[in-house]
Every structure is written in C-alpha cells, then in structure tokens.
Structure 1
Amino acid sequence: MDATKLRRAIARTPLAPVAAFPKRLAKVARYDSRVLGTSARWLFTSREHHNYTYDLTKLSRQHLAWFVSVACDVPVGQVRGWFAELEADETLRGHIEAATAASARRGLADRQVRYARRIGWYAMVRARRPAHVVETGVDKGLGSCVLAAALLRNTAEGHPGRLTSLDINPEAGYLARATPWADVVDLVIGDSIASIRALDRPVDIFLHDSDHSRGHEKREFDAVEAKLAPGALLLTDNVTITNVLAEHAERTGRRFLAYRETPAGHWYPGDGIGVAW
C-alpha cells in the first residue's frame, strides 16, 4: 500500500486524530513562532503603549479603497489617488516627526509616521468635502492632523471646512497645534457628550474615537443625531468591538458598512472603520 492510500485508510479509523496530531502541532508552532517573533521585535523597537500605529498590508489597503469608494460613491481609482496624496505630503510627515520628537510624551511615541486606516478617513473627507467634521477622542492628534490635511486640500480647491476635535484630556492634540493644520482645527477640552450638545453648527462628518465602551459610543451617536446636516456621514473607530453604529443605522434608516484593517508586520490585530450614511 502506498503512502497516500495508507493515510486515507488511517483517516477512516479511530487512530485518525492521533495520526494527524504532529501535522497540526507543526502548523500551530509555525504560526505561533511568527507571532512571537513579531511581538518581540515590536517590544524592543517601538515605544508605543496604546493607539498603536502601523502600515496596512497591500490587500487590506486595496479593500479599504473599495470600502471608501462604495460608502462615498466615488471611483476607486480616485480613492487610491487620495491615499497617495496623503502619503506624499512630506510637510505633514516632517511636522509629525519633529513634533513627536520634541514632545514631553516622546518616550511613549514612535517618530515613524504610519497612518493605517486613517488614510480612509482622509479619503472620505476629500470625497465628501464637508464644511464641518467632528471627531471625539484626539490623543496625540495624529488623526486630527490627517483630517485637517484633507480639509486644507479641500479649501485650496474651493471647499472650505473645519474640524472640531473633542477630548477630555487637556494634554491631547499636541500634533495638531501647529499651522497650517491648527488653522482649521477647533480643539475643545471637556466631556464629549456635553461638547456635542453644545455644537453650534451642523455636522457633515462625525467620527467616534473616544471612550470605546458600548454605552458611551451609543450616547455620542444619540447626542449628535440632532446636530447632523442632511446626508451626514457617521463613522466609528469601534466597529471591531461593538455593533452600536450598525444598530443606530438600522434605527435611523441608514445604510451601514464595516471594514477591518490588517496591520503589516505588527502583533496587534488591527482596528477598523464603521460607516453609516
């Protein structure tokens, strides 16, 4: 009996699980060794302790381009062009590197600029040309800079807009405190729910990226509903954890899509973007 016939014969016997165990163990060991190697490299080469930054895999980037294309009803080639536009912005990249190096929090931040899913945020702002974007949760201000850069490009093309960035931490947003990005950013320190209720102009794009508990996320979307402009775009950075935005979309008669990113060469499994429109 040849090897193939022997394997097939064993597969039909009670010995099958025992015979398959070495092969299964080898597959798990190969996978775990890659994960452990990636984790070890990150531990010794990165300073980040939360809000990890990384690049996307090529496939994940392609899927993000189609995600934005569908949600914003624009050609996917144009979306790819906006991705490239952000990544070619050497003025922004140089600012982020220099501001990170000079920050009092530089011991917990990497100088290398890696946008990940934020290139999707950028492309959505370029596509929708909003007059008013609101984000909750700022941290260092990397996302704020990305959103502001898109608004500045829109302004140069005759479509001005502003970003309202909400955070409860008075030290948040140090990356977005320099011109020209700060020229289109209003940084508001305080509770996000109270700040949303105090907004004095309609919101065209709203991004939840603050307290990621289900209850707080829901309160933010409930609070902003009365502030939204017609056709507003709702985004959440919490889509891999909760179904809050999907439920809000169904309740308010909107469409919903979710994208999950895949980091390149990083131990973290990644976050995502949820969008309702």
Structure 2
Amino acid sequence: MDATRLRRAIARTPLAPVAAFPGRLARVARYDAKVLRTSARWLATSREHHNYTYELTRLSREHLTWFVSVVCDVPVARVRGYLAEIAGDAALRRHIEQATARSARRGLADRRVRYARRVGWYAIVRATRPAHVVETGTDKGLGSCVLAAALLRNAAEGHPGRLTSLDVNPEAGYLARSAPWADVTDLVVGDSVAAIAALDRPVDLFLHDSDHSHDHERREFDAVEPKLAPGAVLLTDNVTTTGVLAEHAERTGRRFLAYRETPLDHWYPGDGIGVAW
C-alpha cells in the first residue's frame, strides 16, 4: 500500500487524531516561534507601551485601499494616490520625529513614524472633504496630525476644514501643537460626551477613538447624532472590540463596513476601522 492510501486508511480509524498530532504540533510550533521572535525583537527595540505603531502588510494596505474606495465611492486609483501622499509627506514625518524626540514622553515613544490604519483616516478625509472633523481620544496627537495633514491638502484644493480633537488629558496632543497642523486643529480638554454636546457647528466626519468601553462609545455616538451635518460619516477605531457603530448604523438607517488591519512584523494582532455612512 502506498503512503497516500495508507494515510487515507488511517484517517478512517480511531488512530487518525494520534497520527495527525505530530504534524499539527509542528504547525503550531512554527507559528508560536515566529510570534516569540517578533515579540522579543519588539521588546528589545521599541519603547511603546500602548497605542502601538507599525506598518501594514502589503496585502492589508491593498484591502484598506479598496475599503476606502467602496465607502467613499471614489476610484481605487485615487485612493492609492491619497495613501502615496501621506507616505511621501516628508515635512510631517520630520515634524513627528523631532517633536517625539523633544517630548516629555520620549522615553515611551518610538521616533520612527508608522501610521498603520491611520492612512485610511487620511484617505477618507481627502475623499469626503469634510468642513468639520471631530476626533475623540487625542493621545500623543499622531492621528490628529494625519487628519490635519489631509485637511491642509483639501484646503490647498479649495475645500477648507477644521479638526476638533477631544481628550481628558491636558497634556495630550503635543504632536499637533505646531504649525501648519495646529493651524487647522482645535485641541479641547474635557469629557468627550460633554464636549460633543457643546459643539457649536455641524460635524461632517466623526471619529471615536477614546474610552473603548461599549457604554462610552455608545454615549459618544448618541451625543454626536444631533450634531451631524447631512451625509456625515461616522468612524470608530475599535471596531474589533465592540459592535456599537454597527448597531448605531442599523438603528439610524445607515450602511456599515469594517476593515481589519494586519500589522507587519509586530506581535500586536492589529485593530481596524468601522465606518457608517
């Protein structure tokens, strides 16, 4: 009996799980070894302790490109152009590197600039040309800078807009305090739900990226709903954690899509972007 016929014969017997165990164990071991190598390299070379930064795999970046194309109803080639813009923005990259090196938090931040899924935020802002973007959860201000960079490009093309970025930490947003990015950014300190309720102009694009609990995310979307301009776009940065935006989209008669990123050479499994429009 040849090897193939023998394997098929064993597969029909109670011995099948035992016979398959060594091969299954080898596959798991190879995967775990890769994760351990990646984790060890990160522990030795990175300073970050949360809000990890990384590049996307080539395939994940392509999936993100198509995701934005579908959501914003623009040609995929145009979205690729937007992603090339942010990748080639040398002034922004240099600013983030220098501001990180000068900051009080430099011991817990990497100077290398890696945007991950935030390039999707950039492309959505470029495609939709919002007059007012609201972001909750500023942290260092990396995402704020990406959003501001898109708004500056829009303004240069005759479509000005502003970013309102909300955070409870008065030290948040140090990356977004320099011109020209600060010229289109309003940093607001305080509770996000209360700050949303106090907004005095319509919101064209809203991004939730603050407290990732189900209750708080729901409260933010409920608070911003009456503030939205016609055709506003809603984003969540923790779509892999809760289904709040999908629930909100169904309740309010919107469409919803989610994108799951794949980090390149990083132990963190990544997060994603949820969009309702």
After TM superposition, the score normalised by the length of structure 2 is 0.99
- RMSD of aligned C-alpha atoms? 0.5
Q: Matches of residues 118-137 of structure 1 in structure 2 within 5 Å? A: 118-137=118-137
* Structure 1: gaps spanning 5 or more residues: none
Q: How many residues align?
A: 277
* Cα displacement (A) at 1:11: 1.1
Match of 2:27 in 1: 27
After TM superposition, the score normalised by the length of structure 1 is 0.99
- Judge which range, 9-18 or 96-105, deviates more: 9-18
Percent identity between matched residues is 83
Aligned residue for 1:231, secondary structure, equals strand
Match of 1:45 in 2: 45
Aligned residue for 2:230, secondary structure, equals strand
> 1: CA distance between counterparts of 2:3 and 2:55?
44
Aligned residue for 1:50, secondary structure, equals coil
Match of 1:74 in 2: 74
Match of 1:160 in 2: 160
Match of 1:174 in 2: 174
1:186 paired to 2:157:
no
* Cα displacement (A) at 1:10: 1.1
> 1: CA distance between counterparts of 2:4 and 2:82?
53
* Structure 2: gaps spanning 5 or more residues: none
1:110 paired to 2:101:
no
Q: Deviations over 1:58-105 (max 9, x none)?
A: 110011011101111100000010000001000000000000011110
Q: Letter of the 1:155 partner, please give it.
A: A
* Cα displacement (A) at 1:52: 0.2
Match of 1:238 in 2: 238
* Cα displacement (A) at 1:274: 0.3
Match of 2:215 in 1: 215
> 2: CA distance between counterparts of 1:197 and 1:6?
70
Q: Letter of the 1:28 partner, please give it.
A: V
Aligned residue for 2:232, secondary structure, equals strand
Q: Letter of the 1:162 partner, please give it.
A: R
> 2: CA distance between counterparts of 1:3 and 1:180?
68
> 1: CA distance between counterparts of 2:165 and 2:56?
25
> 2: CA distance between counterparts of 1:49 and 1:246?
29
> 2: CA distance between counterparts of 1:192 and 1:152?
25
> 1: CA distance between counterparts of 2:30 and 2:238?
31
* Cα displacement (A) at 1:139: 0.5
